[in-house]
């Protein structure tokens, strides 16, 4: 039998040891209490992931500002009232030996849709999905948001999170600054790559000042928009290089978002996969970025389902970790299943049925539920 020796070997991100190379990619589970407070259901979801053998769990989108939330059931940490619940969640994960947890800090930016808050963005570029044109942020407001990201990170640290991931992908606020399609600014936050990365660098520097240089900071990074006037991989690589040089401890390359889903008709970052050749769909991005990165760890995300393939990628040092979202919604126990010798691919069929449950929540695997119902029907009919 093929060994999964590398997949189940430890590796560090910054100074934090991860027990294996399996990361749960950030996944919004639409499962908090109203308005963003940790629920017992959310704690149970994370406990199940931790029990299932994942080495590093990245939390779902956690809002740094009330105006940057996408749903009343999305976690927030923009003030101290969220701390007790978040602390309980982290403690529940840490009960499982060696499992680490990162908090993903985010703001909806141009893709915001909120009854009370109009969306904001670096530039007023209309967003077709909501039909709204965001309000352009002033540079004072940008500085204010930078501070909110830093304050949210400090609260995450106080709650016991092992690291922080900035969500700079999928058309949300931080990626709006990266993309030349959504950032038309002429001040210090727009124009060349260094300026479009300034918000990320300022948050990074502020967090390091606040939390010390040893607390790991990682980033989910937009590396391609997949739309005609959007960010191209050549520039995405330059962002990754710059952010690695300033000291991000790990980079999880991603891409797409609301515009890609409309304009390219492809559901990036969560592609519908019909056959195995379509799996691992950010591999070419990671290969390209790898050439320019030597300090930051690389996390390969997107359509990872086959452990034999994951092992090869890790063994060949193309990536340092693999991350999964949808496969772990179907099978939170997937890492243990692989570790115990069942090396068949994830049962997730990448249909995006789970994505359709996001609006009303809680998120669940539609395919798994259908299969369970079918099995129940069959067993009932046998009893008759
Ligand atoms: C239900 C659902 C919720 C998601 N929520 C987030 C999120 O909060 N933050 C994020 O960065 N990505 C989010 N994603 C994207 C995933 O992290 C991942 O990048 C994408 O699904 C591709 O990985 P996969 O093929 O392993 O599912 C979400 C995806 C799904 C299906």
Which pLDDT belongs to residue 266? 86
Which mutation among 23, 24, 28 tests ligand 1's pocket best, with the greatest number of atoms within 8 A of CB? Answer: 28
- Cβ-proximal residues to 196 (8 Å cutoff; 6+ apart), any chain: 177, 178, 179, 180, 183, 189, 190, 239
Taking the domains of the chain in order of start, what are their residue ranges? 11-383
Fold of 11-383: TIM Barrel (3.20.20)
Average pLDDT rounded to a whole number, residues 194-220: 98
Rounded CA-CA distance 353/174 in Å is 27
Share of the chain above pLDDT 70, in %: 99
Distance CA 113, CA 68 (A): 9
Q: Over 84-144, what HEC string results? A: HHHHHHHHHHHCCCCCEEEEEEECCHHHCCCCCCCCEECCCCCECCCCECCEECCHHHHHH
Please compute the mean of the pLDDT values over residues 220-238 and round it to a whole number.
97
Q: What is the pLDDT of residues 276-325, one digit of tens each?
A: 999 999 999 999 999 999 899 999 999 999 999 999 999 999 999 999 99
Round the average pLDDT of the chain to a whole number and report it.
Answer: 97
172 flagged as catalytic: yes
pLDDT in tens, 42-93: 999 999 999 999 999 999 999 999 999 989 999 999 999 999 999 999 999 9
What does the block give as tokens for 178?
């990266």
Token duo for residue 286: 């990671």
Centroid of ligand 1 to alpha carbon of 138 (angstroms): 30
Closest residue by Cα to atom 20, ligand 1, is: 270
pTM: 0.98
Residue 1 has pLDDT above 70, yes or no: no
């Amino acid at each position: 039998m093929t060994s999964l020796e590398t997949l189940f070997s430890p590796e560090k991100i910054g100074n934090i040891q991860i027990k294996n190379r399996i990361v749960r990619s950030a996944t919004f589970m639409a499962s908090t209490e109203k308005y963003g407070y940790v629920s017992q259901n959310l704690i149970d979801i994370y406990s199940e992931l931790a029990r299932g053998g994942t080495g590093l769990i990245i939390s779902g989108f956690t809002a740094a500002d009330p105006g940057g939330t996408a749903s009343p059931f999305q976690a927030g940490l923009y003030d101290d009232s969220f701390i007790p619940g978040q602390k309980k969640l982290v403690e529940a994960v840490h009960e499982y030996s060696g499992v680490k947890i990162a908090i993903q800090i985010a703001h909806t930016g141009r893709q915001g849709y909120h009854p009370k808050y109009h969306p904001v963005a670096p530039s007023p570029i209309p967003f077709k999905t909501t039909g709204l044109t965001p309000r352009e942020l002033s540079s004072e407001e940008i500085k204010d948001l930078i501070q909110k990201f830093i304050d949210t990170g400090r609260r995450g640290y106080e709650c016991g999170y092992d690291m922080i991931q900035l969500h700079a992908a999928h058309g949300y606020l931080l990626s709006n600054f990266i993309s030349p399609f959504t950032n038309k600014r002429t001040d210090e936050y727009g124009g060349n790559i260094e300026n479009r990365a300034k918000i990320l660098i300022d948050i990074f520097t502020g967090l390091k000042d606040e939390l010390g240089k040893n607390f790991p900071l990682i980033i989910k990074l937009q590396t391609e928009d997949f739309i005609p006037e959007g960010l191209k991989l050549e520039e995405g690589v330059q962002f990754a290089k710059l952010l690695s040089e300033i000291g991000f401890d790990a980079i999880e390359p991603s891409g797409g978002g609301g515009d890609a889903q409309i304009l390219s008709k492809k559901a990036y970052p969560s592609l519908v996969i019909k056959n195995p050749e379509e799996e691992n769909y950010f591999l070419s991005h990671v290969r390209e970025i790898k050439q320019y990165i030597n300090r930051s760890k690389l996390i390969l995300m997107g359509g990872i389902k086959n452990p034999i393939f994951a092992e090869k990628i890790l063994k060949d040092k193309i990536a340092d970790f693999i991350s999964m979202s949808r496969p772990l919604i179907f099978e939170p126990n997937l890492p243990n299943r692989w570790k115990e010798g069942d090396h068949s691919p994830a049962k997730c069929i990448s249909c995006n049925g789970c994505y359709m449950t996001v609006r009303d929540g809680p998120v669940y695997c539609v395919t798994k539920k259908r299969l369970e119902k079918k099995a129940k029907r069959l067993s009932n009919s046998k009893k008759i």
